[in-house]
């Protein structure tokens, strides 16, 4: 049965990977790319074939449907996954392959000489002897999050025992600010008692803490002048931005922090002689620390404005998502059931504070507690992303167990 399930999951995963569906952070539409519509249409068609009800696909490439249960007294549960893959400058087209890891370096692409070196990626060592899915090294694998889409769709096909109503949602543009989940109407489209995301992370990982996240934009307006007459007149916006960045702790950045440590990350700047636009990501698990980082940006913006009185500094800060744990109240069923499912399957739980966000963060902020559990994959957003097939199977088994446990 496990071998049959592994083949079923792998075949469906390959089918979904054949549809390129990167999101585009520069786009202002929802979805940000037309290709996500193609993915949504495929899922809607498959859900119809599987006999689900109330299937809706909207102009935003969001698909929702209900699998009716036979336990009307059971809580109404939901699974939400995203259909976009991330754009990190690699190919949008994914060419998956399944290799067996025998302990040595793995050639992902002989033509381009792309290798996964065990010395550089020791995280693969525990999977000795296992079949593992990779891309051909020219793209991410897309397990984030098409592995989860595969798990949920396979669950909709296979589930036969006693369970309550199950609502599924497939949303676009998670990778660029959880846009699809933020637009999801919980009352009309995803009316459930609690829900789960299946996004990221190795076998056994459970997430009900993630960053509070905000995005900052700082616009420095200088005073252009010809260098021959620039003394006392010219104000260089690049130097304004440089002076701004220098006032922050160089150790409080992503490359110097871990665990529950927050950071401010300056990650984009467009500039010329008149204007510089600097962008930053603000992250912290603790709300007080989160607010303090925002206030620090405000105070330093004021300092730079005072330092350059003939220039201008404009700061805007927008919240992107919040910590799932902010929404935890007395009803912890969504979290407790994950641990019950793991215990039933003999999987050791690995609770991590996620240094990122999932669609569950957006839903939790709306009042719907939505923790996360693993797909089994490693190295997201990388050409070396990989998914061990046995872990993939375990992800499915956890999702299946949740449906039955919730009904009890």
DSSP character string of 180-226: HHHH--TTTT---SEEEEE-S-STTEEEEEE-EEEEEEEEEE-B---
What pLDDT, on a 0 to 100 scale, did the predictor assign at position 2? Answer: 86
H or E, element range at 56? strand 53-57
The pTM is what? 0.91
Phi and psi angles of residue 102, each rounded to the nearest 5 degrees, phi first = -105, 5
What pLDDT, on a 0 to 100 scale, did the predictor assign at position 231? Answer: 96
Q: What is the mean pLDDT of each run of 10 residues along the chain (408 residues)?
A: 93 98 96 98 98 98 97 96 97 98 98 98 98 98 97 97 96 96 97 95 96 97 96 97 98 96 97 98 97 98 98 97 93 97 98 94 94 97 98 98 96
What pLDDT, on a 0 to 100 scale, did the predictor assign at position 377? Answer: 98
In the set 174, 175, 205, 385, the catalytic residue is 174
The Cα 397–Cα 77 span in angstroms is 16
What pLDDT, on a 0 to 100 scale, did the predictor assign at position 157? Answer: 98
The Cα 397–Cα 341 span in angstroms is 9
Contact (Cβ atoms closer than 8 angstroms) between residue 66 and residue 93:
no
The Cα 97–Cα 17 span in angstroms is 11
Whether 46 is a known active-site residue: answer no
Written as one string, the DSSP assignment of 106-138 is: EEEETTTTEEE-TTT-GGGGGGTT-EEEE--SS
The Cα 338–Cα 332 span in angstroms is 10
**Cis bond before residue 230 (omega within 30° of 0):** no
What pLDDT, on a 0 to 100 scale, did the predictor assign at position 1? Answer: 63
What pLDDT, on a 0 to 100 scale, did the predictor assign at position 354? Answer: 94
What pLDDT, on a 0 to 100 scale, did the predictor assign at position 200? Answer: 79
In the set 24, 84, 165, 400, the catalytic residue is 84
Whether 174 is a known active-site residue: answer yes
């Amino acid at each position: 049965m496990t071998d049959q399930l592994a083949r079923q999951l792998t075949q469906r995963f390959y089918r979904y990977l054949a549809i390129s569906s990167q999101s585009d952070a520069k786009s202002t539409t929802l979805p940000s790319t037309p290709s996500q519509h193609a993915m949504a249409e495929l899922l809607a068609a498959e859900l119809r074939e599987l006999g689900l009800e109330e299937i809706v696909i909207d102009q935003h490439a969001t698909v929702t449907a209900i699998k009716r249960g036979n336990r009307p007294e059971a809580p109404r549960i939901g699974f939400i996954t995203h259909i976009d893959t991330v754009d990190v400058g690699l190919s949008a087209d994914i060419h998956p392959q399944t290799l067996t890891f025998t302990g040595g370096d793995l050639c992902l692409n002989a033509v381009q000489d792309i290798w996964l070196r065990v010395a550089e990626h020791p995280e693969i060592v525990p999977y000795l002897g296992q079949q593992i899915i990779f891309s051909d090294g020219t793209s991410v694998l897309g397990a984030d999050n098409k592995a989860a889409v595969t798990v949920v769709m396979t669950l909709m096909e296979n589930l036969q025992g006693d369970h309550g109503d199950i609502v599924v949602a497939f949303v676009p543009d998670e990778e660029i600010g959880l846009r699809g989940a933020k637009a999801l109407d919980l009352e009309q489209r995803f009316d459930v008692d609690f829900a789960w995301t299946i996004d990221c992370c190795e076998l056994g990982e459970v997430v009900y803490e993630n960053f509070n996240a905000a995005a900052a934009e700082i616009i420095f307006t200088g005073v252009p002048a010809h260098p021959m007459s620039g003394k006392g007149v010219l104000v260089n916006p690049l130097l304004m931005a440089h002076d701004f960045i220098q006032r922050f702790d160089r150790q409080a950045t992503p490359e110097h922090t871990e665990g529950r440590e927050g950071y401010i990350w300056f990650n984009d700047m467009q500039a010329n002689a008149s204007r510089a636009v600097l962008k930053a990501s603000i992250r912290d698990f603790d709300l007080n620390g989160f607010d303090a980082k925002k206030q620090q940006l405000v105070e330093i913006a004021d300092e730079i404005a005072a330092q350059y009185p003939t220039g201008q500094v404009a700061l805007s800060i927008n919240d992107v998502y919040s910590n799932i744990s902010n929404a935890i109240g007395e009803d912890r069923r969504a979290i407790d059931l994950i641990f019950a499912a793991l215990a039933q399957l003999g999987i050791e739980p690995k609770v991590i504070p996620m240094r990122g966000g999932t669609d569950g963060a957006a839903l939790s902020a709306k009042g719907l507690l939505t923790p996360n559990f693993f797909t089994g994959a490693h190295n997201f957003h990388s050409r070396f992303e990989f998914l061990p097939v046995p872990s993939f199977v375990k992800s499915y088994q956890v999702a299946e167990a949740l449906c039955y446990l919730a009904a009890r």
